[in-house]
Structure formats: C-alpha cells, structure tokens
Amino acid sequence: MTPLSAVPPPDEPERVVRSLAAVADDTAVDNETAHEPSTDPEALLLCALMWSAHTGGVSAEDLRITAIVTADDFDDVAYRRMFVVIAGLVTAGEPYDPASVTAAFMRSGSGGAKDAPLRRRLNEVITAGADGFTAVHYADIVLSQSYRRSYRTVATAIVHAAEELPEEF
C-alpha cells in the first residue's frame, strides 16, 4: 500500500493560490481562471478516481483516499463539488466511473444552464489523462498543497488582524 504522506517531492512546483474570496464562494465555478486539467493535481486526482472504478469495484485505496481527503483540500470550487459527488459514490459502494459521476450530477439538478460550466469542467477532468493506478500519488499532492495553503490562510488572517483590528477590546 502506497502511503499518503502529503509531502511533495523537492522539485514539485506549487500552484498559484486564488483569492480567498473566490475560494470562500462554494457555489461559484470560476470560469476566468486559466487552468490546464492535464497538469493540475486536483483534476488528475478526480480523473484517476473515476478511471480506477474500472479496476474491479471500489478499491481499498479509493476508500482510503475518500476517507482522508476532504472537499476543503481542493482549491478549485468546481473540483470540490466533483470530489463530493465521487466520494459519496465511493462511500456508498456505487459505481463512480465518468458516466456514473455525470449521471449523479444530473440527478442532483446540475443539468440546467447554470451548471453548464461545471459539466464542461467535469468533461475536462474526465479526459485529463490520469489512470486509475495514480490516484494515491495525486491525493498526496492535493493534501500537500492543501497543507501549504492553510499556512497562507493563517498568515493572511494575521496580517489582516495586525492592520485592521482595534488595539483595545
């Protein structure tokens, strides 16, 4: 079993963190941020999970990934939504291949025009090029990036407090 160490290789480039306001809005899908799913560890993890479903049912690795990784570990709002659906299917023991994930989105009411950008992003993730055997590798990178983002979030809050909060209580 490959460990989820959440420690990136020394030469692993960090992703650019989007503004905290955009991350906080869990209902929006950011259409303006340039992204390339084939080089985005978050997209590749989702892709790998969906394609790992073809390896013979719910694997122990996929169960472990969906138990450790949370939606909050994803910086991209659309990817958070996708992970919630995939993790729910994995936990329920239901199929979580690309067609099943797409169907789950449609059943949840994401078939309308307002969710067209989300479905387009889902199609980009499905074709990102990860295979099912790399899910643990990408989960490790996603966890590492989430860990590093948490320090930036705390640092931003401290700077805000230093600049904006009153000295007297």
> Residues 122-147: what's their mean pLDDT?
95
Please report where in the chains the tokens 């860990």 appear, as a residue: 147
Q: What pTM, to 2 d.p., does this model score? A: 0.74
Sequence-separated (6 or more) residues with CB below 8 Å from residue 25: 77
Residue 14 has pLDDT above 80, yes or no: no
Q: How far apart are alpha carbons 9 and 39 in whole angstroms?
A: 16
> Among residues 11, 21, 41, 24, which one has the least CA distance to residue 138?
41
Q: Considering the chain, what is the average pLDDT of its residues?
A: 82
> Among residues 71, 70, 78, which one has the least CA distance to residue 27?
78
What digits encode the pLDDT tens for the residues 55-104? 666 889 999 999 999 999 999 999 999 999 999 999 999 999 999 999 99
pLDDT class of 168 with cuts at 50, 70, 90: confident
- Roughly how many angstroms between the first and final C-alpha of the chain, as a whole number? 52
